[in-house]
Structure 1
């Protein structure tokens, strides 16, 4: 065999050209090398960024890792990084604990440590041994005492292009000519690199294979979201799903009691953000069956009478109990309304919701069945469904940001546009959903097929732009003025909080301005800021156009509705009125309109607040009219502007 090629302390056996095609290398070390090398690179880079000399480390070191498949490689790479001896797994020792003959004792939080193991940890510390603890979720998986005793907390990040270049060079002995785009790097895990390794391959081939595997190199029938590794844009949900996968595996192996497993979770987010895709990917990652159900499905069974519906509901839960461990997915959970609301057919809904509650935690139980609910309107669900022991965890799935959109597009594109950067397309797509991305990629492929050629970046851009470019000039002009008003006022009054502003038309709106709203205590200044921001679109129309349109009004989510609701709650619930000690309720939606009609004195105070904020917004925009016109022009030219671009217009002035 050829001698190993060494790069900065990481070594991998060079493949022997004399090996026949069906022969394996001498040991499993060749197979394990890519994940371990990736972990070594990530560890060294993280320590170097903190200015820490690995050779001097001792005491308790806690390392958080990006995903579950980083844990074992990091443990294996630690001796190389610190210069210590290797580790062995003692005979009869639990999987959660690795102990070696050297100075370090290595442990993970998978599965959770027993009380006996906690005591052993304390004993090792007392003996002067050092401890390395590695976990995807240290706060949830590792002993609190260990976290409090940590001498160093380190969080590893996914490798960036430069780091992946180092990994590829260390594995193959050659330097890559090209690196994966930045949006793909976060998806490439140690497992992806291990699966991509081939005998005699180049560094470029390794990275191309790893990128394809990470971004959706799956069997065609599996679809792009066949596992949680292929769901960018929902980090909280994916992190919970990976924790659940680990817990279900431990439960199935008898190592974890069902009482320690999450019983259910509610996914809440706008349509098209991937709630159903998450359910499929979660089941695939957990390796358990997925059973789909919904109120509509149950109600459509048989004659649709109440008894038939309840029997269908029970049948779904019985099927899940037989398949346990499994995931029962209930879509459109807001179909089960709050029983306390004044709704028609209250007796019907009381029985239906009661039947669901009985299945969720009745006497029969549902051991091994994790219930996953999905909704676009979490506020409409009966609160009893969300109580402890039922669907007691709620995770919001927001619209994806620019980085997530680029990653989602890459997942759906597969091999198309390989090597092309997607930052520009993702910027134009701001405000879109994962479903929109899938639609655009299908359209771009259709354009390419129609031209008898491979897909081009302009095919994708044309699909994303859609009909926006063909809208009449006036139809684009008014939204540009309106959204420019929102964006400019936010950038002026709270620099750094404007995410982006867009006049790209979609099914939900003709434009949007998205801001970061930090958690702050409600005050007069806070209320005034948000009222001015909400009314700035209408104020811009009046300043620029000399008249206003109905763009600020409309349904409960419109600018005027939200501003009225905020002003009303400032008067009745937040203690900011001239009668601060009298609480009259926190108002939402249609209740505000009824309040305004029933109590004219409150309506008058609300209108006074709104008029004052509107006048202030107009004054601000009038003083910055040149910048307002510049933002309008930029929106008409590019459709989407990042917050930094709007702030640059403020800082440097309009382009001459």
Structure 2
């Protein structure tokens, strides 16, 4: 009897799952009797479909060494090959870890990814068999000290693995385990079916405020219908979407509505849900179980919430970096695994798209990125009308549009829910007063503050127009601010830019000048400026300063060509006194330039700011009218 077939008691795997996998490895190695008996050699083992190399590491190394170890020693070799590994990397690792070892095992996710060099060196390439009822019987008897019939073991293996290995416990009778599995599966299926079939799930075509995301979803529904009819290849269907936006804009609701419109099975999950299953191995099993469920129920949409919590491998520097890297790698494997399998769409959601590993956004994964913004006035009214379901006069709801400024879709849904509760309690229909009772007391933008905001935004518009930086699309000043919003935006000027263009030092200086023009306008009109240019996470001064640092330190557009790290987490760049002095000089020069431009355009500045103060909105067309009225054409001015 070889050591692969009957390990000594001290070598017995500590878990039921590990013991079952050990049985599978033993059967695979028996295909080469000499190796199984301890003779020298090299084997390549191929994991079953849906399994990864990670699960088999400990059973194989235990079998090679004869006991559980972290280091195999000089004479034993082991390595893994995954679908992500380049052939050159695998060959190099094989040369180092396996070629000259007395005994070695290579484990790979498929035969296709094993380099020919390794296949030629191996004594055999063998498929690892799946876990059988007999394997489970042996694992229950040896690890859990319980007996199970072959029929019971077969029934247990019919349940998702992540549930099975959790339900099996020391001393728990198999009848009790099967009862628990049946009840849990029925409860989970009922919950999923209830969510999927609920009449409360609004179809995407009836949703408001989703912009490009809605357009993408409706196109996906059309493509899936053609795919079902055999009129479109799966390769032509978009398979991944990344949604970003502030909390409350309805990213989860979008995914549910998308599934309803596409008539797809819906699975919602997150890193937090996977982590709740237990240690790293349990987390990875739960992750793979969700993707397996999506494949088994295709067409399906799997929604991954708070995707940024997965992290970016380049930023992992803490003591748990290995854990985090394995999580990211496993997710990439799951997404890549469904790329060639039909009927599964992956939708990820995040509030911080910059914190997502770039590999997740590569082609074939979540390569389509759409940002969902806060709804505008018309969309806010439409969302409220939808949630009220016609229980309030439609015309009266229009009056609430401005009062809901700054509210997300979730805020508006809550507003409607509170109003319906008031109406139910008094046994009557919902009224506008019920809605107003739950609206926040908005802060009016008026008086001298409104005047300063109007002058500030007018300065941005006029300076950009004079310089020729960007295409102006419109400017507004808000009527009121919502106190629930942490970062208020009392006004903004919008410009459209070319996505890709040649940029030299002057183009960056023009952008800095435009950013500083709001503050410059305040100086011209009031002789001083307020704090508006430095408030918020993306303020004028921050943008201008970042650009000045890049000119002087990153782009070789300053006095020297040396690159200096001036990122927010850079070690020294921003503390270089000589560099900061150059940045200050750039900012002061462009601030004076902006003041000179606006001083020469004082009549236009006053006219534009006055219209903004009174009306609150000036379009690009209206600005052209004001410019023709208060600024003579340059050719005429030169001729005179």
Sort the TM-score into its range (normalised by shorter chain): 0.5 to 0.7
Task: Give unmatched runs, 5+ long, in structure 1.
Answer: 1-219
Q: Does the 8 Å contact 2:242/2:349 carry over to 1?
A: yes
Q: What's 1:617 paired with? A: 594
Matched, 1:361 2:336: yes
Matched, 1:372 2:347: yes
Distance 1:496 1:601, change over 3 A: same
Matched, 1:519 2:494: no
Q: What's 1:553 paired with? A: 534
Using the alignment, how far apart are the partners of 1:429 and 1:634 within structure 2?
24
Report the Cα offset of residue 533 of structure 1: 3.5
TM-superposition CA deviations, 1:48-87 (whole Å, max 9, x none): xxxxxxxxxxxxxxxxxxxxxxxxxxxxxxxxxxxxxxxx
Is the radius of gyration larger for structure 1 or structure 2? 2
Using the alignment, how far apart are the partners of 1:449 and 1:434 within structure 2?
23
TM-superposition CA deviations, 1:529-579 (whole Å, max 9, x none): 432333344445555665555443366523222221122223344564355
Matched, 1:270 2:249: no
Q: What's 1:398 paired with? A: 373
Matched, 1:296 2:269: no
Q: What's 2:297 paired with? A: 323
Using the alignment, how far apart are the partners of 2:590 and 2:422 within structure 1?
49
Distance 1:363 1:540, change over 3 A: closer
Q: Does the 8 Å contact 1:228/1:281 carry over to 2?
A: yes
2:457 paired residue among 486, 490, 506: 486
Matches within 5 A, 1:170-249: 222-223=199-200, 226-249=202-225
1:507 paired residue among 479, 482, 485: 485
Distance 1:637 1:571, change over 3 A: same
Report the Cα offset of residue 442 of structure 1: 5.1
Matches within 5 A, 1:634-649: 640-643=616-619, 647=623
Secondary structure of 1:301 counterpart = coil
Matches within 5 A, 1:145-160: none
Using the alignment, how far apart are the partners of 1:543 and 1:577 within structure 2?
30
Report the Cα offset of residue 493 of structure 1: 3.4
Using the alignment, how far apart are the partners of 2:224 and 2:487 within structure 1?
41
Using the alignment, how far apart are the partners of 2:440 and 2:524 within structure 1?
29
Matched, 1:283 2:259: yes
Using the alignment, how far apart are the partners of 1:613 and 1:624 within structure 2?
17
TM-score, length basis structure 2: 0.56
Q: Does the 8 Å contact 1:324/1:369 carry over to 2?
A: yes
2:285 paired residue among 311, 322, 325: 311
1:570 paired residue among 543, 551, 568: 551
Report the Cα offset of residue 292 of structure 1: 0.4
Secondary structure of 1:493 counterpart = helix
TM-superposition CA deviations, 1:619-651 (whole Å, max 9, x none): 45566678767877777777x535469849956
Q: Does the 8 Å contact 1:528/1:613 carry over to 2?
A: yes
Q: Does the 8 Å contact 1:273/1:435 carry over to 2?
A: yes
Using the alignment, how far apart are the partners of 1:645 and 1:468 within structure 2?
30
Report the Cα offset of residue 451 of structure 1: 9.9
Moved more, 552-561 or 278-287: 552-561
Matches within 5 A, 1:67-78: none
Report the Cα offset of residue 331 of structure 1: 0.9
Report the Cα offset of residue 295 of structure 1: 1.2
How many corresponding residue pairs?
Answer: 423
Q: Does the 8 Å contact 1:334/1:376 carry over to 2?
A: yes
TM-superposition CA deviations, 1:128-157 (whole Å, max 9, x none): xxxxxxxxxxxxxxxxxxxxxxxxxxxxxx
Report the Cα offset of residue 500 of structure 1: 2.3
Q: Does the 8 Å contact 1:554/1:561 carry over to 2?
A: no
Distance 1:339 1:496, change over 3 A: closer
Report the Cα offset of residue 231 of structure 1: 2.5
1:584 paired residue among 563, 571, 589: 563
Matched, 1:332 2:306: yes
Using the alignment, how far apart are the partners of 1:465 and 1:346 within structure 2?
44
Matched, 1:387 2:362: yes
Using the alignment, how far apart are the partners of 1:334 and 1:232 within structure 2?
26
Q: What's 2:585 paired with? A: 608
Q: Does the 8 Å contact 2:608/2:623 carry over to 1?
A: no
Using the alignment, how far apart are the partners of 1:359 and 1:631 within structure 2?
55
Using the alignment, how far apart are the partners of 1:333 and 1:324 within structure 2?
22
Distance 1:347 1:548, change over 3 A: farther
Distance 1:587 1:643, change over 3 A: farther
Distance 1:525 1:454, change over 3 A: farther
